Structures are given as structure tokens and as C-alpha cells.
């Protein structure tokens, strides 16, 4: 964390400089008070007048200094937290597919909101404030020694006890802050889950039960906050008690010196003022050290995200795709429980078209996920042009592949931005993608055409329209490999046929299609059909070859044909 505190040294130095100046000016207030009282008691009208004028100017300068200090601190804090958030965000995006999905997305939202706020309020800010506290402490000590060394010694002796507080309370506070952070993540997850299921909640009239679940989570969060605040309150109260004891001891000794004529009234008031300057900083330093130590678990969690991102700088880059993709003896299990693929060997040649078919759960989509590098804990090998994917940077693989998912996600932006995804493409490239995908057909009914906002996850579009946007998003990338994971399932039969037909006509495109629609007119145009069953490749060949074999594909095709016939009769 210290590297982030020291990241913007210029603004940090400015903040520290003016904070130190302000701290010294705060100490000097005691001397001003001493001078004003002593001149007043001695009836030194001229000295009293000068003291008042000087004090007025002094406080104006002090106000100006405080403004500069506050402004520089705000700028420093903004830059530091912006960079810290950026690194946490990049760390999340660097995760591979598996490690990303090991956590609920609400956990990452909580990291970037709740935990960052804790870092600001209970780590970085206390560090900055402690600098001023230390300067006040040193300055106060110097002035007290100048006024009366014995009073200084007594105040030091009674304040030593304050320094044992971080030792006693630091660990318990750290643990409770960690529990609060974890519970805030769960609370954010629950809120996200409830709002995402809004339609289900309304449809089944379960508002009351959802409210109960919300209240349970909310009460747990507030309970843990209360426990954390409770122990911090004990720590602060003990600090205050010891601080008051220090101050009372100093005042009692100062009163004695006043009665014996060894101290003036102005000096006694200065001692009282400086007592605040000595006791206050000690108490604040103790409290802030305890607070900073209490952030250990939260800081560790955020730094783990930053440092454990999936950085692949030592891996090779796949510059282009020229020959083939090979899967050799691939076996893969989800979460060490579900056998998804069992000794699968397939070869995909450049610019050829492949259909992968099979019953639900047969492993079709898993093949696409492995090609995309979502998982690397598989047995066997996957290679692009002879290069093992475990030795290739995943980013360079993704530059060769586009995918059209069955479950389409849309960002809360315009149609255009959802297609371009922040990249630069020409108007002609965009136009072609709109035409081929069929997006162009419904743009004229939207208020702003391609610049129309589509709402949260495309709520302003139908399922078919969203899928067309997803198709345009993939086509505009102009990658040599295109994967379709039931990519036209939400489209009507005619539109789905036209889009798939267009893709099959592209000679310079390698297509791998996972589909359950066994249309003879389309499947007969694929170079090869791969039939999956229970994680194994059970058949491979052209449409006519597989039909004539009368194996698993023939059975699937017969069932599909019968279902289509029944549907037509019903209609």
C-alpha cells in the first residue's frame, strides 16, 4: 500500500509541507495566548495592541494555509485513489475465466466501492493526518520545555500509557474490520441478486420474503459494524481517559508553580493550550495507528487482486492463424466433479466449416470454452498451428477468435458502442456488419438509429434484436475464426438461416458452430459434422455420411425432424 501513498510525490510533498506549516502555526497559538494575557495583566496597552494586531494577521495567514493544505490533499487523494481503483479494476479483468467466476461479481463491486472507501477513510487519510499530529507533538514538546521542563516531564510520564493501546486493540479491530468487509460483500451480492430477479419477484408476488432476506443481510452488516465500532469506541475512550489524566496532572503542577511565582498566568494558559497540543496528537496518533493496523486484512485482499492478476508476459504470442487447430486426447472436468470431455481428439483446418452437435450436456460448448482459453486445467493438448495454447498468451488467441454466445450480454450504451466495443472501425466495416447481421433492418424503428441507447443488458431490445447486435459485434472484428455457441437460437428460422448461410459463404473464415438445429439444408454445407455424446466424439463426417451410417447423428436428426413435424401440425 505504501507505494500508492508515495505514487504522487509532488502532491504528497505539497500536502505534507502545508500540513506541517499548519501544525506549527497551531502550536504557536499558545504563545500568542501567553503574550496577550501577560500584556493584559501587566496593563501593557501598547504590547497588548501589537499582540492583537499580530494575532489577527496570523489567523488570516493560518486560514489561507489551511485552504491550500485542504485543496492539495483533495487533489492528492483523488489521484491516489483513482490509480488504486484502476489497478484493482485491471487486476479483476486480468483474471482468467475460472478464477473470475470463483467469486460473485458483487464481490468485485464491493471491492471497488466499500473497500476502497475504507482505504480512503481508515488508511490513507489517517497517514496524512498523523504527519500533522507528529509535527504538533514535536512543536508542543519544544515550547513546553521552553516554558517549564518539569511540567513537560510529568506530561510525558503520564502519556506513555497511551502507546500500549495499539498493541492491545490493533488485532481485534483488524479482525472485526475484515468481517465487516466480508459481510458488505455479501450484502452487495444479495442486493444485486434481488434486483436482477425483479421480474421473478413481481411475477410470483414474493416481495415480503425478499424484504425479509434483505433485512436479515442488512441487520448482519449493521451488527458487525456495531461490534467493530464498539471496540474502536473502547479504544478511543481509554485513550481519552489517559489523555485527560495527562492534562490534569500538567494543570495541577502548573498551578503549583503559579502559586510559587515560578509561572505567569499567561504561561499557565499556554501550558493548558499546549496540553491539548500534546495530549490531542498522542491520542490521535494512537487511534490512527490502531485504525491503520485494523485495515491489514482489507488491504491484503485488494493487493491480492492487483498482484495475482493473470499476467502472461513470459508467454509467446500467436501472430496469425494459418493452418489448423488440434485437440489431442482432451479430458476436462468442471470443479473436479463433472466430467465434461473424455479423451477428445479433433482437428479443425483453416477456412473450413464445422458443426458440433449432440444432446444437452454432451460437451459441445465446453470445446469452445477451452479454445477460448477459459480453462487450462485440462488433460491433453490444444494447439494453434502447432503451438500449445498453454504456452501462448490468451490475449493473442482472442485476437484470432470471435464468438457469438447464446446468452448475449449488452452494455448499457448505444447499439453502435455495443458493436464497436471501444475499438476503431471504418464506416464501411460498420455498415457491412449491420447488413450481414440484420441489425440494419430494425434501426429505422429506433429513435436514434444506431446511436439509440439499449438500456441495462439491452432491455430496450427484443431477444432476437440483441442476438443480431451480438452477431454484428463478432463479425466486425474480422477475425479468421468464428465460434457460434447456439449463436442464432433467439432468431426466427428464416433470419437464422440467412445469417448462417452468409457465414458459410465466407471462404476466408473458419467456422465452428454448436447447434441443436439439425437443418439438412445448412448442415449439408458444413465440411464436417462432429457428434458428441457424454463428453466423447462418437461420430464425425459429412451430413450424408452420418445419415447413411444411421448412428447417433441419425437418431438426433430423426428426433429433430419428428419434433418439427409435430410443431407444424400443432400450428
User: What average pLDDT does range 3-21 have in this prediction?
Assistant: 89
This prediction's pTM: 0.72
In this prediction, residue 60 carries a pLDDT of 94
Taking residue 276's Cβ as centre, other Cβ atoms within 10 Å add up to: 16
In this prediction, residue 344 carries a pLDDT of 92
In this prediction, residue 568 carries a pLDDT of 38
Architecture of domain 404-478: 3-Layer(aba) Sandwich (3.40)
- Of all residues in the chain, what percent carry a pLDDT higher than 70? 90
Q: How far apart are CA 341 and CA 328, in angstroms?
A: 12
In this prediction, residue 203 carries a pLDDT of 60
User: What average pLDDT does range 164-190 have in this prediction?
Assistant: 77
User: What average pLDDT does range 445-474 have in this prediction?
Assistant: 85
Q: Is residue 571 scored above 50 in pLDDT?
A: no
Q: Is residue 380 scored above 50 in pLDDT?
A: yes
The residues spanned by each domain of the chain are 2-306, 314-400+482-571, 404-478
CB-neighbour burial class of residue 10 (10 A; exposed 0-12, middle 13-18, buried 19+): exposed
Q: Is residue 25 scored above 50 in pLDDT?
A: yes
Higher pLDDT, 458 or 52: 52
Please determine whether the domains at 2-306 and 404-478 fall in the same fold group of CATH: no
User: What are 525-570's pLDDT values in tens digits?
Assistant: 899 999 999 999 999 999 999 999 888 888 887 755 544 534 433 4
Taking residue 545's Cβ as centre, other Cβ atoms within 10 Å add up to: 13
Q: Are 145 and 152 in contact (CB under 8 A)?
A: yes
Query: Which set of grid coordinates corresponds to residue 458?
Result: 439491452
In this prediction, residue 343 carries a pLDDT of 92
In this prediction, residue 562 carries a pLDDT of 45
In this prediction, residue 204 carries a pLDDT of 62
- Place domain 314-400+482-571 in its CATH homologous superfamily: P-loop containing nucleotide triphosphate hydrolases (3.40.50.300)
- The secondary structure of residue 338, as a DSSP letter, is E
> Which residues, including other chains, have CB under 8 Å from residue 322's CB and lie 6 or more apart?
350, 385
pLDDT band at 160 (very low <50, low <70, confident <90, very high): low
In this prediction, residue 565 carries a pLDDT of 35
User: What are 476-534's pLDDT values in tens digits?
Assistant: 988 899 998 887 776 777 777 877 887 888 888 899 999 887 778 888 889 999 999 99
Residue 254's H or E segment, with its range, is helix 207-259
In this prediction, residue 569 carries a pLDDT of 35
Q: Which of 77-81, 250-254, 479-483, 505-509 has the lowest mean pLDDT?
A: 250-254
Out of 3.30.420.130, 1.10.1060.10, 3.40.50.720, 1.20.1560.10, the CATH code matching 2-306 is: 1.20.1560.10
Q: Is residue 121 scored above 90 in pLDDT?
A: no
Query: Which set of grid coordinates corresponds to residue 6?
Result: 508515495
Q: Is residue 277 scored above 70 in pLDDT?
A: no
Q: Which of 90-99, 216-225, 374-383 has the lowest mean pLDDT?
A: 90-99
Q: What angle do CA 171, 189, 311 make, to 5 degrees?
A: 75
User: What average pLDDT does range 381-386 have in this prediction?
Assistant: 91
- The secondary structure of residue 235, as a DSSP letter, is H
User: What average pLDDT does range 376-390 have in this prediction?
Assistant: 89
Taking residue 452's Cβ as centre, other Cβ atoms within 10 Å add up to: 16
Residue 358's H or E segment, with its range, is strand 353-358
| β-sheet bridge partners, residue 356 | 514, 530
User: What are 396-428's pLDDT values in tens digits?
Assistant: 888 899 888 877 888 888 889 888 888 888 999
Residue-wise burial string across 487-514, b where 16 or more C-beta atoms lie within 10 A, e elsewhere: bbbbbeeebbbebbeebbeeeebbbbbb
Amino acid at each position: 500500500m505504501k507505494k500508492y501513498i508515495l505514487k504522487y510525490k509532488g502532491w504528497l510533498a505539497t500536502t505534507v509541507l502545508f500540513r506541517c506549516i499548519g501544525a506549527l502555526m497551531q502550536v504557536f497559538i499558545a504563545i500568542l495566548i501567553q503574550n496577550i494575557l501577560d500584556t493584559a495583566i501587566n496593563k501593557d496597552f501598547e504590547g497588548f495592541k501589537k499582540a492583537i494586531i499580530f494575532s489577527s494577521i496570523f489567523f488570516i495567514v493560518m486560514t489561507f494555509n489551511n485552504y491550500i493544505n485542504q485543496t492539495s490533499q483533495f487533489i492528492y487523494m483523488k489521484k491516489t485513489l483513482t490509480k488504486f481503483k484502476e489497478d484493482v479494476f485491471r487486476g479483476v479483468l486480468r483474471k482468467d475465466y475460472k478464477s473470475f467466476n470463483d467469486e460473485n461479481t458483487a464481490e468485485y463491486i464491493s471491492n471497488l466501492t466499500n473497500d476502497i472507501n475504507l482505504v480512503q477513510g481508515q488508511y490513507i487519510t489517517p497517514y496524512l493526518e498523523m504527519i500533522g499530529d507528529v509535527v504538533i507533538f514535536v512543536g508542543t514538546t519544544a515550547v513546553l520545555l521552553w516554558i517549564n521542563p518539569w511540567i513537560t516531564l510529568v506530561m510525558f510520564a503520564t502519556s506513555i500509557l497511551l502507546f500500549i493501546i495499539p498493541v492491545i486493540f490493533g488485532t481485534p479491530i483488524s479482525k472485526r474490520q475484515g468481517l465487516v468487509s466480508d459481510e458488505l460483500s455479501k450484502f452487495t451480492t444479495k442486493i444485486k441478486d434481488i434486483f436482477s430477479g425483479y421480474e421473478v419477484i413481481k411475477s410470483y408476488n414474493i416481495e415480503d420474503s425478499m424484504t425479509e432476506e434483505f433485512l436479515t443481510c442488512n441487520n448482519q452488516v449493521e451488527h458487525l459494524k456495531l461490534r467493530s465500532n464498539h471496540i474502536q469506541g473502547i479504544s478511543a475512550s481509554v485513550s481519552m481517559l489517559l489523555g485527560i489524566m495527562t492534562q490534569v496532572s500538567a494543570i495541577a503542577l502548573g498551578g503549583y508553580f503559579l502559586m510559587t511565582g515560578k509561572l505567569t498566568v499567561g504561561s499557565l494558559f499556554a501550558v493548558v493550550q499546549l496540553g491539548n497540543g500534546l495530549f490531542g496528537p498522542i491520542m490521535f496518533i494512537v487511534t490512527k495507528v490502531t485504525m491503520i493496523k485494523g485495515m491489514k486484512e482489507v488491504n491484503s485482499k485488494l493487493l491480492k487482486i492487483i498482484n495475482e492478476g493473470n499476467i502472461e508476459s513470459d508467454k509467446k504470442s500467436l501472430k496469425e492463424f494459418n493452418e489448423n487447430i488440434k485437440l489431442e486426447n482432451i479430458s476436462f472436468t468442471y470443479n473436479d466433479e463433472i466430467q465434461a470431455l473424455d479423451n477428445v481428439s479433433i482437428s479443425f483446418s483453416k477456412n473450413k466449416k464445422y458443426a458440433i452437435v449432440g444432446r444437452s450436456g454432451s460437451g459441445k460448448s465446453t470445446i469452445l470454452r477451452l479454445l477460448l482459453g477459459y480453462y487450462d486445467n485440462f488433460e491433453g493438448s490444444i494447439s494453434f498451428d502447432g503451438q500449445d495454447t498453454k504456452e501462448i498468451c490468451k490475449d493473442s488467441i482472442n485476437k484470432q477468435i470471435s464468438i457469438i454466445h447464446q446468452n448475449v450480454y449488452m452494455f448499457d450504451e448505444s447499439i453502435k458502442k455495443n458493436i464497436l466495443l471501444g475499438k476503431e472501425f471504418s464506416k464501411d466495416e460498420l455498415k457491412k456488419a449491420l447488413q450481414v447481421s440484420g441489425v440494419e433492418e430494425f434501426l429505422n424503428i429506433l429513435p436514434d438509429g444506431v446511436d439509440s441507447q439499449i438500456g441495462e443488458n439491452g432491455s430496450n431490445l427484443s431477444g432476437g434484436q440483441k442476438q443480431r447486435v451480438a452477431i454484428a459485434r463478432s463479425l466486425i472484428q474480422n477475425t479468421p475464426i468464428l465460434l457460434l455457441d447456439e449463436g442464432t437460437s433467439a432468431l426466427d428460422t428464416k433470419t437464422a438461416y440467412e445469417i448462417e448461410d452468409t457465414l458459410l459463404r465466407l471462404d476466408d473464415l473458419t467456422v465452428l458452430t454448436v447447434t441443436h438445429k439439425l437443418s439438412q439444408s445448412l448442415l449439408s454445407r458444413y465440411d464436417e459434422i462432429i457428434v458428441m455424446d457424454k463428453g466423447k466424439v462418437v461420430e464425425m463426417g459429412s451430413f450424408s455420411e452420418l445419415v447413411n451410417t444411421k448412428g447417433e447423428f441419425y437418431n438426433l436428426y430423426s428426433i429433430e425432424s419428428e419434433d418439427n413435424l409435430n410443431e407444424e401440425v400443432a400450428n
